[in-house]
Amino acid sequence: MKDFEKVQFSKTDFIHYLKCPKSLWLLKHKPNIYPYGEFSDYAKKISAEGYEVEKYAQTLLSAQPDADTYSFQSIFQTERGLYARADVTRDNGDGTINIYEIKSSTSVKRGSQHNQIKDAAFQKIAAIEAGAKVASIFIVHLNKHYVRECEIIPQELLVIEDVTSEVADVEAETRTEIEQAMAILGQQEIDENSCTCLTLTKSNHCDAFDYFNPDIPKPSIYNLPRISKAKIAGFIADGLFNLNEIELGEVTEKQALVLKSAQSNEPVIDQTVLAEFYSKAKYPIYFLDYETYSSAIPLVDGARPQAPIPFQYSLHVKRTPDEMNLLHHEYLAEDAAMPLALIKHMQNNIDATGSVVSWHAAFENTQNKNMAEFYPDMADFLNGLVERTLDLEDLFKEGYVDIAFGGSTSIKKVLPVLAPDLTYDGMDVASGTDAMEAWARFINMSVGAEKDQLRDAMLEYCKLDTYAMVRIFEEIKRV
Ligand code: SF4
């Protein structure tokens, strides 16, 4: 990037700067090596949802008696390069405008992750610098209590919140941050061999962590579960990143399990924990996994904004300890609908006795409880599932700890180690986010080969989720 002065600095850049100046510098100066990863995919989803909500906000404002005072997508560009596109502006008729920012969240997000107040402050500053007089600023967000019934009612779907004074409170600070951000972006070089997340836990690291910290070994102290910031700082002060250099006495009991595994390069197994888990598992065992869909605009009657609705499940049934040919049942909703048909399908395939096994079962149990609330007639069955559910992930917290899982208990980390012949790699649908995105396309496709192919890909993915559980369950049972 040769001359930053002539480059636009947008609101998206500013929010990126607030999250991490170095990451923004890398994106702007070296876009070819910037590691676009999961965070970028998530940002795309948020942005796509924003456009959807915007359509309803436009409908809402266009129906107001003062409809002709509203403008959509007004652009403010300033001498020094600030660039802001306001979702909606209102001409107040006295030389001032109001700015409306439309969000796909169900409340105003004030935390550092989204920082919608700073985001609005950037809009205001850009508008003022471009010559506008801003009277008020509003954030338009989704009403979390709205329940869809037939057509979407924009007046009920949306909440308009006045954030004028909150924005005023952070305006001076935001101006300073914009100046700092532009100064950093104007630098042709920065220190590319370290970054401030060095002292933070793994969950804070962005996709650029490895780029800025190429010398951190793998695995490292960041793979110790629930390690505190203070503990990380202590290790860094002593120059300790390599797990082989850390004493067992320096970490918590749970971290010590990962440490022992790293140092011995073997799994650490607690037979008591394993035995307790398997003693609770009663046959027939139902390995169950849901896929859910959540959208800013509720897809079907009965749904709320951003509330997940199960649209698919896979179920492997192991009737006896020695059974090799497991029954498999599956369901995929062909249309957007609340999950009544899915529940009935499950009722036909899950008997009144036996354990249900899920991975990260809190997710499946939340769906079961939500469905039980929505369908009181089905509550006994669904709440029964909750009571019968065992979480297979729990085994990997203390019963079977292997550094090969990278300090994680995600099935995506455990499966390649315990059943390397099974893989999600190369699948057309390979994650929950993929499944959600695929289903949104699927229900709008016309009948044909392309739809059939997508259906197969979705069924294959969910089936692998439960078959993976079966294999892991068996592998650990052998242990
Ligand atoms: S890992 Fe480094 S580049 Fe990424 S957010 Fe943290 S400080 Fe920024």
268 in a structural domain: no
Say whether pLDDT at 231 is over 80. Answer: yes
Torsion sign (Cα): 222, 228, 231, 237: positive
pLDDT in tens, 342-376: 999 999 999 999 999 999 999 999 999 999 999 99
269 in a structural domain: no
Average pLDDT over residues 424-441: 91
Q: Could you give the maximum distance between any two Cα atoms of the chain, in Å?
A: 80
Contacts with 339 (C-beta within 8 Å, 6 or more apart), sequence order: 309, 310, 311, 333, 371
CB 86 within 8 A of CB 73: yes
Average pLDDT over residues 89-106: 96
- Is ligand 1 within 6 A of the CB of residue 197? yes
Contacts with 319 (C-beta within 8 Å, 6 or more apart), sequence order: 283, 284, 327
**What is the structure's pLDDT at 3?**
46
- Is ligand 1 within 6 A of the CB of residue 212? yes
**What is the structure's pLDDT at 1?**
44
What distance in angstroms lies between residue 180's CA and the mean position of ligand 1's atoms? 17
**What is the structure's pLDDT at 43?**
64
Which atom in ligand 1 lies closest to the alpha carbon of residue 209?
1
The pLDDT > 90 percentage for the chain reads 86
Which atom in ligand 1 lies closest to the alpha carbon of residue 213?
2
- Predicted confidence band at 45 (pLDDT cuts at 50, 70, 90)? low
Shared domain for 299 and 429, answered yes or no, is yes
What distance in angstroms lies between residue 381's CA and the mean position of ligand 1's atoms? 47
- Predicted confidence band at 52 (pLDDT cuts at 50, 70, 90)? confident
Say whether pLDDT at 41 is over 80. Answer: no
From atom 4 of ligand 1, which residue's Cα is the shortest distance away?
A: 206
Average pLDDT over residues 43-53: 76
Helix, strand, coil share (%) of the chain residues, nearest 5 = 50, 15, 35
Which atom in ligand 1 lies closest to the alpha carbon of residue 23?
3
- Is ligand 1 within 6 A of the CB of residue 224? no
**What is the structure's pLDDT at 51?**
85
**What is the structure's pLDDT at 119?**
95
Give the H or E element holding residue 473: helix 449-478
- Is ligand 1 within 6 A of the CB of residue 109? no
25 in a structural domain: yes
Shared domain for 245 and 330, answered yes or no, is no
Shared domain for 178 and 30, answered yes or no, is yes
Say whether pLDDT at 7 is over 80. Answer: no
Average pLDDT over residues 137-152: 95
- Is ligand 1 within 6 A of the CB of residue 208? yes
Q: Which residue has the higher pLDDT, 392 or 202?
A: 392
- Predicted confidence band at 40 (pLDDT cuts at 50, 70, 90)? low
Shared domain for 42 and 143, answered yes or no, is yes
Calculate the average pLDDT of the chain.
93
**What is the structure's pLDDT at 4?**
46
- Predicted confidence band at 6 (pLDDT cuts at 50, 70, 90)? low
What distance in angstroms lies between residue 196's CA and the mean position of ligand 1's atoms? 6
CA distance 472 to 358: 12
Shared domain for 290 and 241, answered yes or no, is no
- How many independent structural domains does the chain possess? 3
Which atom in ligand 1 lies closest to the alpha carbon of residue 207?
4
Shared domain for 89 and 132, answered yes or no, is yes
191 in a structural domain: no
From atom 6 of ligand 1, which residue's Cα is the shortest distance away?
A: 197
Shared domain for 234 and 376, answered yes or no, is no
What distance in angstroms lies between residue 192's CA and the mean position of ligand 1's atoms? 11
Residues belonging to the chain: 479
Shared domain for 447 and 472, answered yes or no, is yes
To test the ligand 1 pocket, which listed residue (206, 222, 236) has its Cβ within 8 A of the most ligand atoms?
Answer: 206
- Is ligand 1 within 6 A of the CB of residue 196? yes
Residue 309 lies in domain: 274-478
Which atom in ligand 1 lies closest to the alpha carbon of residue 20?
8
- Is ligand 1 within 6 A of the CB of residue 20? yes
- Is ligand 1 within 6 A of the CB of residue 125? no
**What is the structure's pLDDT at 479?**
84
Shared domain for 249 and 391, answered yes or no, is no
pLDDT in tens, 264-297: 999 999 999 999 999 999 999 999 999 999 999 9
**What is the structure's pLDDT at 38?**
57
Shared domain for 235 and 298, answered yes or no, is no
Shared domain for 64 and 97, answered yes or no, is yes
Contacts with 76 (C-beta within 8 Å, 6 or more apart), sequence order: 82, 83, 84, 85, 86, 123, 126, 127, 129, 130, 132
Inter-CA distances, 7 with 32, 79, 82, 86, 395, Å = 18, 11, 9, 19, 52
Say whether pLDDT at 22 is over 50. Answer: yes
**What is the structure's pLDDT at 34?**
87
Shared domain for 434 and 285, answered yes or no, is yes
22 in a structural domain: yes
**What is the structure's pLDDT at 114?**
72
To test the ligand 1 pocket, which listed residue (23, 193, 236) has its Cβ within 8 A of the most ligand atoms?
Answer: 23
- Predicted confidence band at 49 (pLDDT cuts at 50, 70, 90)? confident
- Is ligand 1 within 6 A of the CB of residue 182? no
Last residue of a domain, one of 168, 186, 204: 186
